[in-house]
Amino acid sequence: MLAIDAAAYTSPWRRVHPAAKGLLFGGLLVCALALPTWPAAPLVAAVALAAAFGPARVSPRAFARAAWGPLLFILTGSLALLVTVGGAQGAVALDPEGPARAAEITGRAAAAVCCQLLFAFTTPLADLLPRLTRIGLPSALVEVVALIYRMLFVTLDSARRVQTAQAGRLGYVDRRAWVRSVGSLGAALFVRTFHRAQRMQRGLECRGYTGELTVLVDELPLRPAALIAAALPPLLVAAATAAYVFIGAGP
């Protein structure tokens, strides 16, 4: 099991209805994308992290391990905004407006990533997927996502087993052996995953699959008080941002 899934299953917010958590983190995500970057993005990140590290008790170390990859991707991608290509000879030069645009995009994207990761840290996918059909998503799409989610863990387990066997046979002793072992690992994973998908399809057909998988859903109470509490932080962020913009635009 991935670390983020293990954290979601042991989260104190596991018993909170996904709609309430979606309203909280989804509302903060909308604030990060729709409101002016400053001060909306820092406010969104601060509120989301306070909720996560406070009542949700998300491990800061686990969050840092999951967030460093997306944040590094955002940071390296924003570096391209610092330069401009143009002129008569197509020269590369620093863009005077580049730092401001890079900071804006980095702030928005970082705040949005925090909201999405924290929702994943508090909501297992198994609790979310069965409820998506109730809000109008096609059941076929939801089932494809569920099957891919299941096959992901099977593939990762197969990869670990094959890699362990290769390492026991000195498959990674030098660069040449490493390249050969990685190629063999990819080929073995492709074949095993394809065969597993075929067996899964035959198993569903033998069980009378009619286009919809019926699963038991753990019913969670959806209290109006929880929805109100989840809606307050995004509303406060929006109000604080509007007040900041109004004061800044004043005489």
* Structure confidence by residue, pLDDT tens digits, 188-204: 999 988 888 888 888 87
Cα–Cα distance between 12 and 114 in angstroms, integer? Answer: 19
* pLDDT score recorded for residue 88: 58
Q: How many residues does the chain have?
A: 251
Closest CA to 127 of 251, 244, 5: 5
Within 13 Å, how many C-alpha atoms sit on residue 217's CB side? 16
Q: Mean pLDDT throughout 179-190? A: 92
Span 74-106, pLDDT tens digits: 999 898 888 887 665 567 778 788 889 999 999
Spacing of C-alpha 171 from chain mean position: 33
Alpha-carbon span 36 to 240, nearest angstrom: 11
Structure tokens at 160: 């670990």
For the record, the structure tokens of 100 come out as 């401001």
Structure confidence at residue 208 as a pLDDT band (50, 70, 90): confident
Q: pLDDT higher for 139 or 87? A: 139
- 132: pLDDT confidence band, cut at 50, 70 and 90? confident
Is the CB of residue 78 less than 8 Å from the CB of residue 113?
no
pLDDT tens for each residue of 13-50: 998 999 999 999 999 999 999 999 989 999 999 999 99
The pLDDT of 234-251, averaged and rounded, is 84
Output the pLDDT for position 90.
60
Q: What is the pLDDT at residue 97? A: 85
In which element (H, E) is residue 91 found?
A: strand 91-94
Look at 95-99, 226-230, 245-249 and tell me which has the smallest mean pLDDT: 245-249
pTM of the model: 0.83
Tokens representing 27 are 């509302």
Token pair 């994207």 in the structure block, residue: 109
Model pLDDT, residue 89? 59
